[in-house]
Structure 1
Amino acid sequence: MNTGTQATDHTLVLGGIRSGKTALAETVATAWDRVTYVATATAGDDEMAARIDRHRAGRPGHWGLIEEPLHLGEVLQAQARSTHPPGLLIDCMSLWVSNLMFAGEEVFAAERARFLNSLANYPGPVAIVSNEVGLGTIGMDPLTRRFADELGWLNQALAARCHRVVLSLAGLPQILKGSGF
């Protein structure tokens, strides 16, 4: 049981597609006494539904689950109000940014700000999964370029707020900020 967790026990795990970033975040979460998995994905097609099912099947059965495609700040605030806030594993920022972009500008700005503020005040441990977009090519269309810009800016804001930042390469953790893994 981890009783010495501080509010600064926040980890950002970055990586490319199929880099092992979720598995590394899950490894971080196994050290916590209580875990709630916060999923941002929605099943828009059969292939995505199968991906979601594989993720669910691979997680420990005693972990809690909250599925929330937009209102992550609200989730953090609600969980923080409990007498013993759980560790939160949030997967993933790239899907969340995509969901926010399609929700409209007002929702995007308000939810991004609320999430970052709520994260700064969350009293329990948090592991956040996000795709690193800074290693690829520049998108050919305005929507793709905006997505890469927004996710890159969000990753920078999260890295500034997290005490540990890890880059997953082929499932191997590369510590960018903080220590240990």
Structure 2
Amino acid sequence: MMHLVLGGARSGKSRHGLSLVADYVARGYECLFVATAQGLDEEMRARIARHQDERREDGLSWQTLECPLHLSACIETHAREKRVILVDCLTLWLTNQLLEGDDWPLARAALLRALETAPGAVVLISNEVGCGVVPADPLSRRFVDEAGWLHQAIAQRAQQVVLVTAGLPLILKDETSQGAKE
């Protein structure tokens, strides 16, 4: 089962992802948090700490892995039946990929393959960045384009896609047993 949760900065998307994980834990799943952020500056370290505090307060028994680059390998290694993996977030992973200079098309294809074959459940959090003006510089334009294409590819494969704004989830797609039409 794959869930894609999109939203802007401070939209409530991570909180919504945590609630999806809590639903799985209530059904006997263990939970794994895959962090893609790198604490390279004080502001990012503060953001990471805020998210860590949220997880400590939610009452779930989290295992945490830091995976800024090799997300497909992480999912392939750690996905299993009765485990839900929360990846927060895809756009930071994309940023890391583009800045690292690795082969983005290969990394993207590997992630899509890993997601398609992952047992258990995966909840993917990502920033919706395509609602603003076209960026002025080439790297930023590429980032927005690649994020949009990645979101489309994952949304096509995901059983559920949710857009969160102002803390409110808007279900864009729901092929889960709870949302499937009879």
What is the TM-score normalised by the length of structure 2?
0.88
CA distance in 2 between counterparts of 1:37 and 1:134 reads 26
2:32 alignment partner in structure 1: 36
Q: What is the Cα deviation at residue 105 of structure 1?
A: 4.5
State the alpha-carbon separation in 1 of the partners of residues 50 and 102 from structure 2: 32
Aligned to 1:89: 86
1:164 partner letter: Q
Aligned CA RMSD, in angstroms, stands at 1.5
State the shift of 1:36 in Å.
0.3
Match of 2:19 in 1: 27
* Aligned counterparts of 1:100 and 1:18: Cα–Cα separation in 2: 23
Shift of 1:46: 1.1
Q: Residues 20-43 of structure 1: CA distance to partner in whole angstroms, max 9, x if unpaired? A: 100001100001221101010000
Q: Which residue of 1 aligns with 2:46?
A: 50
* AA matched with 1:30: A
Say if 1:41 and 1:52, in contact at 8 Å, map to a contact too: yes
Q: Which residue of 2 aligns with 1:123?
A: 119
Q: Distance in 2 between matches of 1:85 and 1:95?
A: 27
Structure 1 segments, 4+ long, off by >3 Å, are: none
Alpha-carbon contact 1:15-1:131 (below 8 Å) kept: yes
Q: After TM superposition, give the deviation of residue 116 of structure 1 in Å.
A: 0.8
Identity %: 44
Q: Is 1:13 aligned to residue 5 of structure 2?
A: yes
Kindly indicate whether residue 64 of structure 2 is the aligned counterpart of residue 72 of structure 1. no
1:114 aligned partner: 110
Per-residue deviation, 1:111:
1.7
- Correspondent of 2:99 among 78, 84, 102: 102
Distance 2:17 2:83 in 1: 15
Code of the aligned partner of 1:95? L
- Superposed displacement of residue 85, structure 1: 5.3
Whichever residue aligns with residue 167 of structure 1, its letter is L
Answer with 167-176 or 54-63: which moved more: 54-63
| Equivalent pair of 1:79/1:85 in contact (CA under 8 Å) | no
Tell me, in whole angstroms, the C-alpha distance in 2 between the residues paired with 1:14 and 1:58.
18
Q: What is the letter of the counterpart of residue 96 of structure 2?
A: N
CA drift of 1:67 comes to 0.6
Q: TM-score, normalised by structure 1?
A: 0.89
Shift of 1:109: 2.2
Unmatched 5+ stretches in structure 1: 1-8
